[in-house]
Chains A and B, each alone.
Chain A
Amino acid sequence: MALVLTEEQSMLRDSARGLISDKAPVSHLRSLRDNKDPTGFSKELWHSFAEMGFAGLLVPEEFGGSGLGFVEAGVVMEEIGRTLMPSPFLATSVVAASALNRGGNAAQKSEFLPKISNGSLLATLAIDEGAKHRPLQTSLQAVRAGNGFKLSGAKALVVDGHVADLFIVAARTAGAAGEREGLTLFLVNPKAKGVAIERTIMVDAHNAARIELANVEVNADSVLGEVDQGAALLDGVLDIGRGAVAAEMVGLSEEVFNRTVEYLKNRKQFGKLIGEFQALQHRAAELYVDIEITRAATMKALQALDADVAKAASSVAVAKARAGTTATRAVQEGVQMHGGMGMTDQFDIGFFMKRARVCEELFGDANYHTEQLARARGY
């Protein structure tokens, strides 16, 4: 498959870009932040998103979605990255929809997927517990009780956790933290007894929450996939999320880079445009190449996910590792080359730096994925 967008994918990009740049430029995020918006995103915009078919992009047509692929999801994520639009798209439409699609039984799919498609249900994956992304270190306990389970433990960085209508919680039904066997995914109602949710105001002004579960009762129908066998399902779902976040970081990197190059062409110092200085030209050129290489690696990963999620792990590791490193470099150069202006809150560049930091931690940072690649290659 060619590593360029098809005509249909380009049209999808244009329509996503049109809506997002029009309705949600960076000032949109700024205003949500400044007003301490309780929802953290625009519900109105989310409904427009759903009407255009984006909310159910990955949902099969039989459940009311568009049945498109991960390359298409990446196209939308990249546009989201350009303006930093806060949106339930990643948590609900990419990660949760994929979890339900891949792991759900007929009843679970027909209950939840149509609502995800029409934008009426928000869902999210609750996975990380410690400071760093370590899926196998899950220790939140699920103990059998009667016909179901009782869940106890805590999760950090649950994206959209305070607005979600459905949690997909990774829990340990057997084994010890660090082991692959014994992981199970549960569908949990955030309103269930024993669930405590704390919205965490994060550095990037996007939505996340810490949640605590104290003997939360769920019935046997709440198991997503097989008991004790959740790791394989989780691997696939996380790789899908990683591919999507890599695409967001490509969009973010390119946007911050374009703004920086424009600045180099207009800002004068020492009687010259600063873009004439070779020291800055070469750094800009290196960054351009970094972004192009990362874009290609990300497309490759998304295509690999479309071909076979179970075989995409190495491509995804390459993409997420590259995207993290490149985005970090792009925002650092962005601030540095904008000089003092880059340090001001009034200027937008800082928003990109903050979002890049969050994207880097989300689903594993560059170190994590570089390590994964080394392990996969057996050294």
Chain B
Amino acid sequence: MSESEPADLEKFREQTRAWLEANCPPEMRKPVTSDTDVFWGGRNTKFASEPQRIWFERMRDKGWTVPDWPREYGGGGLSAAEHKVLRAEMARMGARPPLSSFGIWMLGPALLKYGNEAQKKEHLPDIAAGLIRWCQGYSEPNAGSDLASLQTRAESDGDDFVITGSKIWTSYADYADWIFCLVRTDPTAKKHDGISFILFDMASKGVTTKPILLISGYSPFCETFFDGVRVPKSHVVGTVNRGWDVAKYLLQHERAMISGMGERGVGRPLGQIAADSVGTDAQGKLDDSMLRGRIASFDVDEAALAACAERAVDLAKAGQAHPAFSSAMKYYGTELNKRRHEILMSAGGVNALEWESERSRQGARPRAWLRTKANSIEGGTTEVMLGIVAKRILDLPGA
């Protein structure tokens, strides 16, 4: 659908398209199929390829690793409308994101809202430039989605906090340079009231990590242990004991990010993938009518969800969005992504079962399928999301 745009936005679109065409290497216009297809940044980082480096550096120099952040913090300073244009133009050409990071998706927005000027100046430009890779210290053993029951404690000692405890499901902690972490600074306060949000270097004395092997054969998550880690109090974001506000705000971004995972770099339409694999009948229809029906239903729901995601942004701009709506999107987006991968496995048949071979790119499809099963657990389970919708949006009575 064509929409009428102000003249300057139309001009921005033309310029953006021309710049992307000239600067995005052809290799960076292919779907993302594995973790190494994306650059994650950090101190120990290596580029997977020369085109990946070129693409990242050109985008970084324009501030387009974080297009909507202010320029003074390494961002592109784009308005919401311009950012939407840039995203649309990148999607149009199938351009990969130049940099993926929890710093961009989660910590950055929280720092922009709750950080003091010194913290913003110290951390945001390094995130934008891919210099520091962040991980998230939220979940703890035995806590899971019951996040506020965390036990890791930070005890005051002069100008420092001394942190002791452990975290679990810390994504890529073994690669991360810094952590944003929830700690209990007041054990006597009510569950949500004694928590602080603090930042520290993973190279600090007393920090250790241990990868967790998953059913996919990968170890994207770690256990993380803190044994008397000394952190300056100036590293607390927001107010001491009011970290829950920051945590909740950040979770909204995390949920929005996870609900969008299904849209990222999936490549060809499911119906085409299935037709190539299963074959077609004399009328050109997929030669497995039940599978065809499942794909078609999936396509209906996916198109409808995309409309809803678009509407969620428009509602936010119009000041009509419900703050808990990201939970609704997270629930549906992750369940849909699991459906997509079940269909992909079904379409691939025997060929999708290979785990270790060049042909299967080391079992990319079954590993991705297994990975998606975490979507409805991480960042708050589907059940927790539905509970939030029930209580906060529908106002149903609490138990």
Contact = CB atoms under 8 A, between A and B. Distances in A.
Interface of A: 1-4, 261, 264-265, 273, 275-276, 278, 281-282, 284-286, 288-289, 292-297, 299-300, 303-304, 307-308, 311, 314-315, 317-319, 321-322, 369-371, 373-374, 377-379
19 contacts: A2-B318, A4-B318, A265-B397, A284-B394, A284-B396, A288-B328, A288-B394, A297-B304, A307-B1, A318-B304, A373-B296, A373-B303, A374-B271, A374-B286, A374-B299, A377-B299, A379-B269, A379-B272, A379-B292
B269 A377 contact: yes
Contacts of B308: 292-293, 295-297
Nearest to A283: B386
Contacts of B1: 1, 303-304, 307-308, 311
B363 interface: no
A9 B304 CA distance: 22
A299 B300 contact: no
Given A374-B271, A377-B299, A300 B394 contact: no
B146 interface: no
B292 A288 contact: no
B398 A276 contact: yes
B285 interface: yes
B187 interface: no
Nearest to A300: B307
B317 interface: yes
Interface string B237-278: 000000000000000000000000000000001011011000
B91 interface: no
Q: Is the interface of B mostly helix, strand, loop or mixed?
A: helix
Contacts of B296: 370-371, 373-374
B332 interface: yes
Contacts, number: 140
Contacts of B386: 281-282, 285-286
Contact of A370 (B297, B328, B390, B394): B297
B307 A2 contact: no
A308 B3 CA distance: 11
A285 B390 contact: yes
B300 A322 contact: yes
A364 B284 CA distance: 23
Nearest to B336: A293
A55 to B, nearest CB: 28
Q: Which 3 A-B pairs have the closest CB atoms?
A: A379-B271, A281-B390, A297-B304
A62 to B, nearest CB: 24
Interface of B: 1-3, 269, 271-272, 274-275, 280, 284-286, 292-293, 295-297, 299-301, 303-305, 307-308, 310-311, 314-315, 317-318, 320, 325, 328, 331-332, 383, 385-387, 389-391, 393-399
Contacts of B300: 317-318, 321-322, 369-370, 373
Q: Is the interface of A mostly helix, strand, loop or mixed?
A: helix
A261 B396 contact: yes
A155 to B, nearest CB: 29
Nearest to B274: A379
Contact of B397 (A275, A371, A378): A275
Given A1-B3, A265-B395, A292-B308, 20 more contacts: A4-B318, A273-B397, A284-B396, A285-B386, A285-B387, A285-B389, A288-B393, A288-B394, A289-B331, A295-B308, A296-B310, A297-B303, A297-B307, A315-B303, A318-B307, A373-B296, A374-B286, A374-B293, A374-B296, A377-B271
Name the residue in A282, A292, A300, A311 with the highest tally of chain B Cβ atoms < 10 Å from its Cβ: A292
A276 B310 contact: no
Contacts of A293: 301, 304-305, 307-308, 332
Given A265-B395, A377-B269, A289 B292 contact: no
Contacts of B399: 276, 278
Contacts of B394: 261, 281, 284-285, 288
B314 A4 contact: yes
Contacts of B269: 377, 379
A259 to B, nearest CB: 13
B292 A374 contact: yes
Nearest to A261: B394
Contacts of B304: 293-294, 296-297, 318-319, 322
Name the residue in A295, A304, A379 with the highest tally of chain B Cβ atoms < 10 Å from its Cβ: A379
B303 to A, nearest CB: 4
A100 B286 CA distance: 39
B301 A322 contact: yes
Contacts of A264: 396
Given A265-B395, A278-B399, A377-B299, A284 B390 contact: yes
A2 B314 contact: yes
Contact of A2 (B280, B317, B387): B317
A245 B300 CA distance: 17
A125 to B, nearest CB: 25
A327 B158 CA distance: 62
B307 A296 contact: yes
